[in-house]
Structure 1
Amino acid sequence: MGVSVHAASEEASCPLSWRLFLPAAWDGPDAQARRRACRIPDDECHRPKWQLALDMLDELAGCGLRPAVLVADTGYGANADFRHGLDERGLAWVLQAKGEMTAHGQDAVPHQPEYGGLGPRPLPRYRTRPVSLREHVLAAGRGRGRAVTWPKGSKAAMSSHFVFLRVRLAGRRPKPAADGTIPLSWLIARWPEGEREPVQYWISNLP
């Protein structure tokens, strides 16, 4: 398998860098014959795809190439370590997500538990449970969205209906702000006409 980073515009896409992804099974003693047959160097081992992607982004940044906005599919959008790595590098991103991912609403406010005097001070925590991205969009309703048309599809302009919401992603997350709040993210859902619920989801750290 290959992990790649591409430069893309409305007219074309061009690969800038590739990494070979080795499944974890290729590191085991039973894989030595297979490694030799494939001429895999001894110092090459299994590394998660998200780490390979960040390595390539660092390499490209060293050449002066930083994306205006980075986009990636669900395998990366669902990975908190990858999202945190992008945030640490100051990169803007729009990542495809699964509707089962959870988030707090925009107006959710954390509660600061009292300090008992022993050990580290407790971190602020939310009293309400996060709900899935799907639930957030269904609660807002399709009428909350807007039609968006973009210039080029494979043959002509394309259009669909999108709902845009501000949420605070739950689970593993970046360091909270001083008031304990989780940074706001965009939740974007494509909800075409005639569909009972959204068919695709994205999350983004754009302002």
Structure 2
Amino acid sequence: MGIANCQVGVSLHLARDHASTAVNWRLFLPQTWDPASAKADAGKVARRAACQIPDDVGHVEKWQLALDMADEVRSWGIEVPLAIADAGYGDAAAFRHGLQARGLNYVVGISSTLSASPATRCRWPSRTPGPDARWWPSIPTSHAP
């Protein structure tokens, strides 16, 4: 794994059939650049002035920046008919819940290692034969009111 020496931006684009454009963007500031973070790196914090990063700007997760930008764009009277994001955002349950809480339709990628199931589903032991070839007893999966 390498280290990228660059600035990372989070952007919100609006797209139509034949074009798209960025309508909002934010600089992502890693925890190592945030003096208020437990992971702050003194050398990186010292470079903030040279980069002209305002003192009141700190680390915010990328998915939260995206939700903040969607809120801002909507405050301008521009609707977001469908939010599309890659797994870097889709893997964050808080991002998906934030989109849902805002009533936004979305399609997001998720990584192949992420598992999801309805909140009403319970995890039960797998039904594997024991030494005497009996199965686990049946366990009801619904709860009576």
TM-score normalised to structure 2 length: 0.71
1:100 equivalenced with 2:113 (yes/no) = yes
Q: Which runs of 5+ in 1 are unaligned?
A: 111-124, 130-178, 181-207
Equivalent position SS for 1:97: coil
- Write the distance in 1 (CA, Å) between the matches of 2:33 and 2:123: 44
Q: How does 1:20-31 map to 2 (within 5 A)?
A: 20-27=27-34, 28=40, 30=42, 31=44
Q: Which amino acid aligns with 2:122?
A: Y
Once the two structures are TM-superposed, the CA of residue 32 in structure 1 deviates from its matched residue by: 3.5
Which residue is equivalent to 1:59? Answer: 72
1:139-171 CA-partner distances (Å, limit 9, x unpaired)? xxxxxxxxxxxxxxxxxxxxxxxxxxxxxxxxx
Structure whose CA Rg is larger: 2
1:126 equivalenced with 2:133 (yes/no) = no
1:80 equivalenced with 2:76 (yes/no) = no
Once the two structures are TM-superposed, the CA of residue 99 in structure 1 deviates from its matched residue by: 2.0
- Write the distance in 1 (CA, Å) between the matches of 2:92 and 2:119: 25
Change (3 A) 1:29 1:92: same
Change (3 A) 1:24 1:127: closer
Once the two structures are TM-superposed, the CA of residue 102 in structure 1 deviates from its matched residue by: 1.3
Q: CA RMSD in A?
A: 2.2
1:19 equivalenced with 2:37 (yes/no) = no
Q: 2:17 aligns with which of 10, 24, 28?
A: 10
Equivalent position SS for 2:109: strand
Change (3 A) 1:77 1:32: closer
Higher strand share: 1
Q: Which runs of 5+ in 2 are unaligned?
A: 1-7, 35-39, 126-141
